[in-house]
Amino acid sequence: MIASFVRNNYSSLKGPARTLALLHFLDSVGGGVFTSGSAVYFIVVAHLSAPQVGLGLSIAGLTGFVSSVLMGMAADRIGARRLLFLAMLAIGAAYCFYPAVGSLPAFFAAVGVVGALEWGSGPLFHTLIAELVPESDRVSARAALRSVFNVGFSLGALVAAALIGIGGSAMQVLPLGNALSFLLAAGLVLRLPATPAPRTRTERKSRFRALKDTPFLGVIGASSLLALHGAVLVVGIPLWLVTSDKLPRSVIPVVFVLNTILVVLFQVKFAKGSETLGGSVRAARKAGLISVVACLAMAMGNVTTAWVAGAFALVAVLLVTFAELGQSASAFGLGFGLAPEAARGEYLGAFHLHVVVQATVGPAVVSFLVIHYGSYGWLTLCLVFLAGTAAIAPAVRRARKDDLTPASA
């Protein structure tokens, strides 16, 4: 049964895509090791306060916001394969310096550099998929890679839990293990086939072309609203569980385990149909409406008894996960479908901003609404998702400058 699942779920990972999958798996294991234990590491080992850690992570998001577009532009000039190799070497080296972080300025500098490199390398990876994977398989391969990422991240999180349990010098493995994963992944980048030659100056036309493309920015804006499901899952539902006292806090890890398992099992299935721009829009709108229902469930859970609230919370977790699966599939199709070949790296880097915005601004917005306004905060989030649902189709239509036809993305 497991062999059949692996064969069917990852059938699109052929040729260079298999190397990309192994690269992504190594990266995700290291990311799981460090990300799962980073808060404990910075507070216990580096002796920083929780607010300082939070500010540092915000700085990392800010540098990532800038680097996402710049590294996409650089990929169009020097090649995504070469730049990804250099970026992974640099990230691995940066993580090696984490054990030496002993002051606030050093911490801010380290997380700022790592944030810029990690967020900026995302569009490089997407560009390589577009260059090395056949057009008909890109969306399904990207979905399979996301499934692989969740498997690796979960394994890394288990390792992090063991290292934190041991404590002491074993916790230094958290950043060093991640550094090793990036160095190994960099070696795999060299095994990928040579990508097409970088575009000439005349082919690139103008700098910051994507950021001057107002219709395309509209797609990024609508996608940012719909991607807020990530903050709802990571911040909103856990905060509700902590502050409501209707359910034990031990339920919180179950939320993430359930989400991870469902992404591994169903991301590829949810990506079917998003190979076209029309299919991507339908997936995005469906995801937005599912997010609305999830937020309504959380709003209703605030005014019920403990057991009923638990049922609403479980339903909300399932719905948010399904919204995540649909919106992610939509983003794969929109990113590949709207990026012109002459500026593919830049456009994919710009489109990646909807993920950066959600990861940096989303937690603050969701936590403010949930903590201060309770059920009314959840209803406000419903309006946000409705706005994204209503805006996505017109935004994509304007970006394509024609009707949504079943032309291949």
Q: What is the pLDDT of residues 346-365, one digit of tens each?
A: 999 999 999 988 888 888 89
Q: Cβ distance 151 to 25 under 8 Å?
A: yes
Both tokens of 11, joined, read: 């059938």
Q: Is the pLDDT of residue 409 over 60?
A: no
Q: Supply the pLDDT for residue 175.
A: 92
- pLDDT at site 400: 85
CA–CA separation, 153 and 130 (whole Å) = 24
Nearest of 268, 221, 362, 223 to residue 13 by alpha carbon: 268
Check whether 90 has a pLDDT greater than 90: yes
The structural domains of the chain, with segments of one domain joined by +, span: 16-192, 208-404
Kindly state the average pLDDT of the residues 31-38: 86
Could you give the dihedral angle defined by the CA atoms of residues 303, 304, 307 and 310, in that order, rounded to the nearest 10 degrees?
-30
Same fold, 16-192 and 208-404: yes
What count of Cα atoms within 13 Å lies in the side-chain half-sphere of residue 24?
Answer: 24
Say what the pLDDT of residue 404 is. Answer: 41
Q: Does pLDDT of 201 surpass 70?
A: no
- Answer for the pair 47, 101: CB distance below 8 angstroms, yes or no: no
Q: Is 97 helix (H, G, I), strand (E, B) or coil?
A: coil
Q: Per residue in 101-158, pLDDT tens? A: 878 899 999 999 999 999 999 899 999 999 999 888 899 999 999 999 999 999 998 8
Count Cβ atoms within 10 A of the Cβ of residue 77 and give its class: 0-12 exposed, 13-18 middle, 19 or more buried. Answer: middle
Average pLDDT over residues 5-32: 89
- Mean pLDDT score, 282-303: 92
Rounded to whole angstroms, the maximal C-alpha distance in the chain is: 65
Q: What per-residue confidence (pLDDT) applies to 190?
A: 92
| CB within 8 Å of 245: residues ≥ 6 apart | none
CATH number of this structure's domain 208-404:
1.20.1250.20
Label residue 406 by pLDDT band (50, 70, 90).
very low
Calculate what percentage of the chain has a pLDDT beyond 90: 51
What is d(CA 343, CA 337) in angstroms, rounded to the nearest whole number? 12
Q: Is 125 exposed, middle or buried (0-12, 13-18, 19+ CB in 10 A)?
A: buried
Question: How far is Cα 93 from Cα 303, in angstroms, rounded to an integer?
Answer: 50
Between 409 and 49, where is the model more confident? 49
**pLDDT value of residue 405:** 41
- Please give the angle made by the CA atoms of 213, 329 and 159, to the nearest 5 degrees: 115
- Would you place residue 205 in the very low, low, confident or very high pLDDT band (cuts 50, 70, 90)? low
- Burial degree of 305 (CB within 10 A; 0-12, 13-18, 19+): exposed
Query: What pLDDT sits at residue 126?
Result: 92
Displacement of CA 349 from its chain's centroid (Å): 13
Helix, strand or coil, per DSSP, at residue 203: helix
Q: How confident is the model at residue 403 (pLDDT cuts 50, 70, 90)?
A: very low
The pLDDT value given to residue 200: 56
* Mean pLDDT of the region 254-258: 83
Selected residue with higher pLDDT from 295 and 194: 295
Average pLDDT of the chain? Answer: 87
Question: Exposed, middle or buried: residue 158 (CB in 10 Å: 0-12, 13-18, 19+)?
Answer: middle
DSSP state of 345: H
How many CA atoms, within 13 angstroms, populate the side-chain half-sphere of residue 396? 29
pLDDT-derived band at 263, boundaries 50, 70, 90: very high
How many residues are there in the chain? 409
Amino acid, single-letter form, for residue 274: S
pLDDT band, residue 221 (cuts 50/70/90): very high
Q: How far is CA 243 from the centre of its chain?
A: 27
Q: 346 near 209, Cβ under 8 Å?
A: yes
Q: CB within 8 A of 123, min separation 6: which ones?
A: 68, 71, 72, 75, 345, 348, 349, 351, 352
d(CA 357, CA 364): 11
Rounded CA-CA distance 40/406 in Å is 49
| CATH code of the domain occupying 16-192 | 1.20.1250.20
Beta bridge partners of 373: none
Residue 278 has pLDDT above 60, yes or no: yes
Planar angle of CA 112, 214, 114, nearest 5 degrees: 10
pLDDT computed for residue 246 by the predictor:
66
